[in-house]
């Protein structure tokens, strides 16, 4: 990676890396073995130390207490944090809160911002984002059933969402719901509405058991119902019908965050793989590293991770320079490219660990299970590939109409 | 697959398939959602019905209450049972008990057979097989630390085993331990010794959490310690120093059982994939099946599963005809070939299910997690590939010395 | 592979293998270095010896001078012959002549059979089959421009064909042309018509240079024009409008021939790979075979070739038992499955040879170049995959309409 | 790719791209159909126009008539030139001449420089580099048989080289030969010596037929013998025993040249693929581009080409900043990474073209054949992967000793 990066960022990255290793590392064994709520006090303490170090929510502008990083710069932070499953949460830049912060910051009314954004930024509360629905393919986001019918000064929300990550324990949800079913353009039918936890008619049915974990608190994916759930019209974020526009806007930075987090996961897995290859002996004096298959996995992983990072940072720089629209082909490209690298690197690292890799004593099995979702969430790889092809083929005078 | 198979077998296969679907199918949701012990009564009932149908332990000779199937015939049974995670257990032909039955049948003293084989065959008890050690790579089975020192009429066993599957609740373990550390040939140093549960010094440290499941009872993998554990010399199975020979013997049939079970898993996953592709709509009237990527996954999976079955049955027929030794290259070949097919088919089926595939509401995520082990247990793929190459290259006058 | 095969076939296979190795092997260097016509005298001699051995055209019924082999039996012969690029030609069972023999035998009038089939069977002439057109995708065979307009007792043929293999030097072509453009079913519009070489209006424009070879005589692919080319109506083979039906009929056996030939190519490449791995030293005493990457290529190739053979022979047996229609899914399956194996095996064998593999001194580069077509001709892999999916999905109540 | 690139370079790149398309494009059909010597007059003319445009040999310092480009900048030029097989030759920056220029410039005596470097820079002569030997694996460069025995003021060279590219018609060869067989370090045994064409004992045995082309003149790979070939000691380049050191030095920049040329090939193949997908109809109104398999190939190719470019330019920038040694892991990484991308992109582009892709009417088949060598020459991928692993694993305290 480029050495030309400004030194101040490098210093911060080193500081973060050290914190992740020395302060969060010791919590990881507990993370793997205990229910997540048992870790909350320790996490709270860690978050306090992050604040004390001035590293809190570094994605935020300086005036809001952050570090005013560009997207490409925050991407590098995200990689460092991604080396631990606890990294982003400790620094208060975890999805979906980080996206909700950006959204509220840019589009919410002053009243909403004061009531909800402040506590979120300060890490006093968490939030969730209710978009995906079980009855509709996530790859077609305009295909929604949840409705928000206007009645006087209220929206009455009805619908069924799932994979609403981190809903368990969240102070509020931001819900995507159809407010204008008759709008001629399908993309102008939905709005985003903030629903406080505890609002009657807003119910978490269950935390969906995912890949062996029921999950709880931050680490959970809820099945959520809205049943005649009423919120004041002022709880809408942005203009009515602008729901998809806002969702699109969040997608570019969100993609960078995810991809760089995945790269952090890859680097950690790579480190575990190399360490194991160096230490595990097949026979006295013959480490696993002496096997060419293992060597080639290391080399291929090194190449792919480096490529993934260059691709993602290049995309982040494009967004920094020209905005999300300019970079939309790259934003789709890194989705499937980096998710593919992630899957292969985790698979190789696990294989090098043999039976140990199958256990929940290491992070590998956790990531192997949960990061399988990387090829699915935010639109499956297949959709993003067709989007890239669609854009490329426009230049050849053909519209593939997807 | 060949139509030439005798009709009687086909009838039995249909009967088994119906039982798996109609009697075990309804238990699967509970299997995925509840601790396994909660299912034991229902499983006990199902096992009773299997006995009543005369399908119990079909791998056994007729005189022992089985159906006297050849290995290739039982392979086809194993495929049918593999369509459910509960299949083999319901029919009392689950690993590791099936291997222990074969072992005791062929090599145990009459006293051991009467005391332990009878109850095992009748399904009154379960057993386990303690071979793998955490400190040594499974790919080098002569590299063992567990010892069984002779003292008078007893063996005193000391050592550490793990991934001793189904130890939790087992009536006895068969343990591989070094009895002759000074034997000139490394393959003649170990013996197999039966250790009853409850023997002082035989301790299950914990069930290892594996891929999100702590596991219990039959579905578990234990960390096991032997600490000055004494058993009478009569508990040895086969000759002293014959441990590896017996382990090798079990490997051929065991491989067929596993591979055909994996093929059953593949067929079930294939069925789920096709069903989902046909039913899930991307837009009204546009099922997932209309997408060429999905079509190609279906076609590639169909081809690969068929190839895996032909390869495995061909190997089984070779063993039936000429014994394990004749077929040893094929036995290594199907290990990595079928495990690879299994991994790819599960991955595609999961991808077609999108977010739903990530949930523990379906079998896919269970298999995706636990069958990742197929490329690791019984020796990782990489070892088997080198074994195949070694045998091939002997024909070219070169000894690659692995 | 099954040992149960009748001994007589095995004896014949050994005889053929020996002939290919000892009689054709010495011609291969000349085949690679000289224009093909220079080899014709030597080939003629070899064909004479094949006849003398009673091995001529073994696919033919005994009464026509062949060996009366089933399709599965001939498949195994085809594998042996496929080990040399000269094999099929030497035994007079080379494409496209073998397909033309079958076609004329089953559907031509006695007069046509006497005039053209006899000489073909006796190896006095060669023939070609003109179906593919440059302007239309081969994957959609009903999309044809060549027409055969009836005028009195003649057809007047106009059109452009290419990849008409072996047209150079052929005594006649069998041409697929639209005779009934207004037939309601697209599959009933074309007929197959025999056009003798030298008929005015039948012109070989050029031998298309393919993958580095202009080609000539049997080893060539012609660009062919029909310009007002008149042949008597009696030259039609089968009923008018039955062109596609006959083409379909030829496809099943043709697929077996091709796939088994490819497997022969694979076995030869595998042999070259192993030989090179054993002989080439990276350093004194360190053969290429000591490298795990090479070992794994050998093992993976061994597995894939065995799987390809079992799949193809299983398909051949199905056709032998139940006809082409019964086996049509398998016929599509082996197309892409075996072509994929072929590509990977050749690629690995070439890589093991390093720079030598790039030279035209060995067969590897010849096959690497020309067998790239295996994934394209007779319909690209992608079409066959969708066909398999279509048939599978019918069972799930969905018609993907391809 | 980065927009931050200085405008002057962008202008030059556009100029070069236009030249390649409009001036060299029309020669490509002849290049594919005619012996290369027939193109020499046209090439000479094109080279004249390149000089007139001031684009000649842009890799050279300004004082030697070039453009003084950094390696990263020249990399981007190399990509543009790589879009045509005639590009580098037309601009006089073709391998192996460009490497020989660098070598002579940096290490030859003034006399040698004047006699040989001048004409080479001016494009009056061509040259070759004789390193690879048929008897030794290219992956172990210290394993050489060619010797240069000192006799008085002369070296007497004996040995056998092959794949000496462009020897046919070259004015001189630079030969790697063992001058110090007893040097304790194997890397200090060889020297590089300039041998003028026509020197007695220096014989081109033949142009090796490679992938269907015998080749001639610049496009050829010779089998070369040195038999008592005498040249003055002054013809040595650099110090005696420094042969490998110099070879290593050339490798870094050479790798960038090759990789960026491959990326140019990829972009051209990508363009052909998209064009074909847009134009070829499967049925009226249904272009190939409507098929998801084709869309995914386009997207995957786009992603991989972009990644390859970022990786290569990042490596070039590292070399520019810190020298070859600093970047040696990356130099090995891009070798296998970019070669892999090249192979896959060409394969997909060819598949999209169907039968047409197999013909020598397009560039695809030419590149498919000849660029297969990319995974072999300059050390096969497997060696470079092990090198990367070796360097990575040093950081884990293990020496894999390759």
pLDDT of C224 higher than 80: yes
Instruction: Name the average pLDDT for chain C.
Output: 95
Partnered with residue B156 across adjacent β-strands are B149, B230
Q: Does C295 touch chain D if contact means CB atoms closer than 8 Å?
A: no
Domain definitions of chain C by residue range: 7-108, 127-237, 245-394
Contact: B386, C296; criterion CB under 8 Å: yes
Residues of C in contact with B277 (CB under 8 A): 393, 396, 398
Contact: D388, A289; criterion CB under 8 Å: no
pLDDT of A298 higher than 60: yes
Q: Any idea which fold C245-394 has? A: Butyryl-CoA Dehydrogenase, subunit A; domain 3 (1.20.140)
% of chain C surpassing 90 pLDDT? 90
Note whether C193 and C174 are within 8 A (CB): yes
pLDDT of C286 higher than 70: yes
Note whether B23 and B46 are within 8 A (CB): yes
Q: Does C376 touch chain D if contact means CB atoms closer than 8 Å?
A: yes
pLDDT of D123 higher than 50: yes
Pairwise CA distance, residues C122 & C120, whole Å: 5
Contact: A293, C291; criterion CB under 8 Å: no
Residues of D in contact with C209 (CB under 8 A): 32-33, 359-361
CB contact residues (below 8 A), chain B span 107-166, against chain A: 132, 134, 137-140, 143, 162-163
pLDDT tens column, A190-230: 999 999 999 999 999 999 999 999 999 999 999 999 999 99
Q: What is the pLDDT of residue D136?
A: 82
A26: phi then psi, degrees, rounded to nearest 5: -65, -20
Span A153-163, average pLDDT = 97
pLDDT tens column, A81-129: 999 999 999 999 999 999 999 999 999 999 999 999 999 999 999 999 9
- Helix runs in D280-401, H state only: 292-322, 328-353, 355-358, 363-370, 381-394
Reading the block at residue D16, the tokens are 């070069």
Pairwise CA distance, residues B154 & C153, whole Å: 100
pLDDT of D68 higher than 60: yes
Q: What is the pLDDT of residue D7?
A: 61
pLDDT tens column, D27-39: 999 999 999 999 9
Pairwise CA distance, residues A229 & C306, whole Å: 62
Q: What is the pLDDT of residue C141?
A: 67
Pairwise CA distance, residues C366 & C350, whole Å: 11
Note whether C60 and C121 are within 8 A (CB): yes
Span C272-278, average pLDDT = 98
- Mutation to test the C interface, candidates A286, A292, A295, A352, most C Cβ within 10 Å: A292
Instruction: Name the average pLDDT for chain D.
Output: 95
In which residue ranges of chain B is pLDDT below 70?
A: 1-7, 138-141
Note whether B176 and B190 are within 8 A (CB): yes
Burial zone of C151 (CB within 10 Å; 0-12 exposed, 13-18 middle, 19+ buried): exposed
pLDDT tens column, C5-58: 446 899 999 999 999 999 999 999 999 999 999 999 999 999 999 999 999 999
pLDDT tens column, A361-370: 999 999 999 9
Residues of D in contact with B293 (CB under 8 A): 292-293, 296
Q: What is the pLDDT of residue B139?
A: 61
Question: If one looks up domain C127-237 in CATH, what number appears?
Answer: 2.40.110.10
Q: Does D282 touch chain A if contact means CB atoms closer than 8 Å?
A: no
Could you report the predicted ipTM of this complex, rounded to two decimals? Answer: 0.96
Q: What is the pLDDT of residue A343?
A: 98
pLDDT tens column, D251-280: 889 999 999 999 999 999 999 999 999 999
% of chain A surpassing 70 pLDDT? 97
pLDDT of D139 higher than 70: no
pLDDT tens column, C333-381: 999 999 999 999 999 999 999 999 999 999 999 999 999 999 999 999 9
Reading the block at residue C19, the tokens are 């002939």
The listed CATH number (1.20.140.10, 3.90.1300.10, 3.40.50.300, 1.20.120.530) that belongs to domain B244-394: 1.20.140.10
Q: What is the pLDDT of residue B2?
A: 40
Q: Which CATH class is domain D7-108?
A: mainly alpha
Contact: C376, D382; criterion CB under 8 Å: no
Span C254-267, average pLDDT = 97
A242: phi then psi, degrees, rounded to nearest 5: -95, 10
| Nearest C-alpha neighbor of C339 from the set C365, C377, C303, C306 | C377
Q: How confident is the model at residue D138 (pLDDT cuts 50, 70, 90)?
A: low
Residues of A in contact with B293 (CB under 8 A): 382
| Residue found under tokens 């081809």 | B303
Span A29-53, average pLDDT = 97
Q: What is the pLDDT of residue A8?
A: 81
Q: Does C291 touch chain A if contact means CB atoms closer than 8 Å?
A: yes
Span C182-190, average pLDDT = 93
Q: What is the pLDDT of residue D390?
A: 97
């Amino acid at each position: 990676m480029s050495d030309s990066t400004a030194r101040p960022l490098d210093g911060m990255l080193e500081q973060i890396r050290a914190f992740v290793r020395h302060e969060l590392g010791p919590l990881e064994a507990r993370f793997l073995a205990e229910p997540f709520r048992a870790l909350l006090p320790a996490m709270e303490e860690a978050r306090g130390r992050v604040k004390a170090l001035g590293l809190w929510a570094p994605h935020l502008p300086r005036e809001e207490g952050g570090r005013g990083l560009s997207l490409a710069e925050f991407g590098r932070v995200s990689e460092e944090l991604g080396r631990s499953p606890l990294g982003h949460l400790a620094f208060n830049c975890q999805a979906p809160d980080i996206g909700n912060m950006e959204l509220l910051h840019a589009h919410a009314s002053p009243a909403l911002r004061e009531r909800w954004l402040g506590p979120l930024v300060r890490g006093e509360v968490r939030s969730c984002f209710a978009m995906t629905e079980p009855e509709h393919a996530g790859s077609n986001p305009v295909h929604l059933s949840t409705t928000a019918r206007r009645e006087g000064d209220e929206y009455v929300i009805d619908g069924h969402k799932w994979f609403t990550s981190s809903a368990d324990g969240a102070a509020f949800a931001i819900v995507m719901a159809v407010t204008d079913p008759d709008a001629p353009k399908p993309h102008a039918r939905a709005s985003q509405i903030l629903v406080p936890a505890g609002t009657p008619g807003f119910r978490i049915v269950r935390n969906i058991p995912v890949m062996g974990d029921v999950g709880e608190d931050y680490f959970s994916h809820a099945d959520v119902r809205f049943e005649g759930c009423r919120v004041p019209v002022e709880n809408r974020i942005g203009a009515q019908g602008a729901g998809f526009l806002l969702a699109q806007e969040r997608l570019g930075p969100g993609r960078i965050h995810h991809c760089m987090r995945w790269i952090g996961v890859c680097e950690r897995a790579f480190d575990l793989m190399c360490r194991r290859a160096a230490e595990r002996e097949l026979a006295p004096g013959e480490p696993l590293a002496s096997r060419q298959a293992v060597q080639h996995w290391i080399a291929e992983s090194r190449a792919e991770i480096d490529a993934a990072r260059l691709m993602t940072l290049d995309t982040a720089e494009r967004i920094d320079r020209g905005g999300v629209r300019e970079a939309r082909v790259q934003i789709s490209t890194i989705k499937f490219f980096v998710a593919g690298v992630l899957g292969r690197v985790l698979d190789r690292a696990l294989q090098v660990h043999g039976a140990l890799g199958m256990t929940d004593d290491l992070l590998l099995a956790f990531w192997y299970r949960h990061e399988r979702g990387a090829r699915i969430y935010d639109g499956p790889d297949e959709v993003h590939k067709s989007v890239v092809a669609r854009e490329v083929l426009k230049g050849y005078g053909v519209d593939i109409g997807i």
